[in-house]
A = this chain, B = another copy of it.
Amino acid sequence: MINLNVNIAGVLLKNPITTASGTFSAKDSGAFYDINELGAAITKGVSNVPWDGNPTPRIAETYGGMLNAIGLQNPGVDNFINNELPFLKQFDTKIIVNVVGKTINEYCEVVEKLNDTFIDMIEVNISCPNIKEGGISFGANSAMASEITKEIRRISRKPIIMKLTPNVTDITEIAKAVEAAGADGISLINTLLGMKIDVHQKKPVLWNVMGGLSGPAIKPVAVRMVYQVRRAVSIPIIGLGGVMTGEDAVEFLMAGADAVSIGTAALVDPTAPVRIKKELIEFMNQNGYENLQQIREAML
């Protein structure tokens, strides 16, 4: 009998398949599959006040990948708590809320409001530009990453997962910094910064000029970072970046992830999370794995 359970920072997920922040909408994704099948639903980044996001075009297709420059559009934490959370309550899955901000205070404001809700965990997206530091991302250096982790850890009554940006020279340095600062887990990777030019229109495809590269194109970078970070810290890791199939999920688990998130794959195939879960089970059956621990230890 296969056991897919995994414990992430004290929260028991019934399986390791989660939705990557920003690629899941309970109502809309739920039209394609049963949300109860997920190990956890990770919701789109939410900020202290509503954000409009960027003008369009926000999406560009690239070879084996895509760019997005949504600009973190969201209705703000109050709307989220009042209008979106109640809908999520009906599902038998863990709820992880992704949090964004432009200052540490903004992050903290969101976290404080989420403290009083039923959600299971908080995922902190530190790829956002830190406006106090001139727009450098919070995740770009270990000092800033450490500081924001400490502050959020101090006020959060939920486990906090720090979601790291891959656009750094040494991901292990950042990972060690957030672990030392009290992070309960790490998600990686967020998108790689990229750009596409429409050579006929003679301008960037995205209104925002640059955007985040995701999808199978970036999987080797993501697997490498999960592998490196697994060997640098001991807190749980949610691995993501280009997971398209059950075997991709296994690849992340072998690299050292405790769970995985499905992002771009859900745009390419709306039922991807449940298909990937099914493929993971098939792989385990065919290769004699009974639980995730065995997969995670297969390469050690």
Contact = CB atoms under 8 A, between A and B. Distances in A.
Interface in A171-217: 192-197, 199-200, 202-204, 209-210, 213, 216-217
A209 B255 CA distance: 11
B63 A217 contact: yes
A119 to B, nearest CB: 32
When all copies of this chain in the complex are counted, the total is 2
Interface stretch (A23-31, A72-80, A99-107, A218-226): A218-226
Contacts of A65: 64, 217, 220
Contacts of A213: 220-221
A298 interface: yes
A147 interface: no
A203 B216 CA distance: 20
Q: Interface extent on A, as a size class? A: 35 or more
Contacts of A247: 199
A195 B217 contact: no
Contacts of A287: 200
A11 interface: no
A40 to B, nearest CB: 23
B202 A254 contact: yes
A161 interface: no
Contact of A221 (B141, B170, B192): B192
